[in-house]
Structure 1
Amino acid sequence: MASSSSTYRSSSSSDGGNPPGSAVAVDDRKRKRMLSNRESARRSRMRKQKHVDDLTAQINQLSNDNRQILTSLTVTTQLYTKIQAENSILTAQMTELSTRLESLNEIVDLVTATNGGVDQIDGCGFDDRTVGINCDGYYDDMMSGVNPWGGSVYSNQPIMANDMMNMY
């Protein structure tokens, strides 16, 4: 039997000299398992920390992008408001100029219709004696040849509206 026990010992010497069911072998496997679990837990914590760091970096990047978009939106809104105000002013000016043009066309039609059967003086198409302007567009005093107001004055100058009036 002694030989069988030495054979048994030689085969179990690769396990550290402990028989397969002994308490030392169980403790050794338990210790290896604990080390393996600790290493696995450490790797898991490292992965979790890396994931948290990545999410934090993504939050910072998205916050910066959001800030830039809001700034761009604010600038665009201000430009839109400015252009809209300019458009309103131009629309009001266009309406005023259209009204003036319509009035002038009515005056031209009236003068043309009135002078249709009357002899025209100086070939201007108007009876210049009533207006006080000769064909060259300069004031012509019919009585004395002198301008009583001193200088070249048009007797029917248009009245220009102030730009401030367009705002109200």
Structure 2
Amino acid sequence: MASMVSSSGSTQLRSTCSERDPLAVMAQRKQRRMLSNRESARRSRMRKQKHLEELVERVSYLRKENNEILTALNVATQRFLGVEAKNSVLRTQMVELRTRLQSLDEILRLMNDGSCGRGGSIGFAAGFDAAEDATLLRPWSPLRKYNAVLASQESFNLYH
């Protein structure tokens, strides 16, 4: 029935094909194939499960990273809006200050040119002597001169 075969010092029992039924051999091969397929399917399921776990972990990491990026974006947007508001205020102030500067420059130009507008020829300080200038700076001074201004009735009747 069974024969002993020695291979490199170890002995093992082997059945010869002639001693076994061919249907039994086919059933045994089918059984081995079935076991091999089951083991292969189990390994495949384990690989798929491991891959799925890695993907779930990756999704979790990416969601966390996405939330951090959104938070940073919101902070940057708020800072931008704050800077934009301050910039708008500064632009408005710049326009106001530029207008005031132009007005002051015009006043200084008129004072330095000696014209009072509409062809007048007296300057800002024209006609004042040093004594009058000093009394203008000190209105409480008793040395102040009062000059009467005489006007005729016709000068008040502008619209006849």
Please report the TM-score for the alignment, with normalisation by the length of structure 1. 0.63
- Matched residues in 1 for 2:99 and 2:73: separation? 38
- Matched residues in 2 for 1:41 and 1:17: separation? 32
What's the counterpart of residue 141 of structure 1? Answer: 139
- Matched residues in 2 for 1:81 and 1:87: separation? 10
Give the structure with higher Rg (CA): 2
The 5-angstrom pairing of residues 103-142 of structure 1 reads 103-114=103-114, 115=123, 118=126, 128=133, 132-133=136-137, 140-141=138-139
Q: Provide, for residues 33-78 of structure 1, a one-character-per-residue CA deviation record: whole Å limited to 9, x for no partner.
A: 1111111001000010011011101110110111011111111111
What's the counterpart of residue 97 of structure 1? Answer: 97
- Matched residues in 2 for 1:117 and 1:57: separation? 87
What's the counterpart of residue 16 of structure 1? Answer: 15
Please report the TM-score for the alignment, with normalisation by the length of structure 2. 0.66
Cα distance, 1:71–1:144 mapped onto 2, change above 3 Å: farther
Q: Which has the higher contact order (CA 8 A, sep 6+)?
A: 1
The 5-angstrom pairing of residues 1-168 of structure 1 reads 15-19=14-18, 22-114=22-114, 115=123, 118=126, 128=133, 132-133=136-137, 140-141=138-139, 143-144=141-142
Task: Provide structure 1 residue ranges, at least 5 long, that are not aligned to the other structure.
Answer: 1-5, 134-139, 146-168
CA contact (8 A) 1:121 1:128 kept: yes
Amino acid in structure 1 at the alignment position of 2:126: V
What is the aligned length?
126
By how many angstroms is 1:118 displaced? 3.1
- Matched residues in 2 for 1:64 and 1:34: separation? 45
- Matched residues in 2 for 1:60 and 1:121: separation? 89
- Matched residues in 1 for 2:129 and 2:69: separation? 71
Q: Provide, for residues 87-124 of structure 1, a one-character-per-residue CA deviation record: whole Å limited to 9, x for no partner.
A: 000001111110011000000011112238936756xx
RMSD: 3.1
- Matched residues in 2 for 1:50 and 1:88: separation? 56
Counting aligned pairs with the same residue, the percent is 40
CA contact (8 A) 1:129 1:142 kept: no
- Matched residues in 2 for 1:21 and 1:14: separation? 17
Amino acid in structure 1 at the alignment position of 2:24: V
Task: Provide structure 2 residue ranges, at least 5 long, that are not aligned to the other structure.
Answer: 5-11, 115-122, 144-160
Amino acid in structure 2 at the alignment position of 1:27: A
Cα distance, 1:37–1:65 mapped onto 2, change above 3 Å: same
- Matched residues in 1 for 2:36 and 2:83: separation? 70
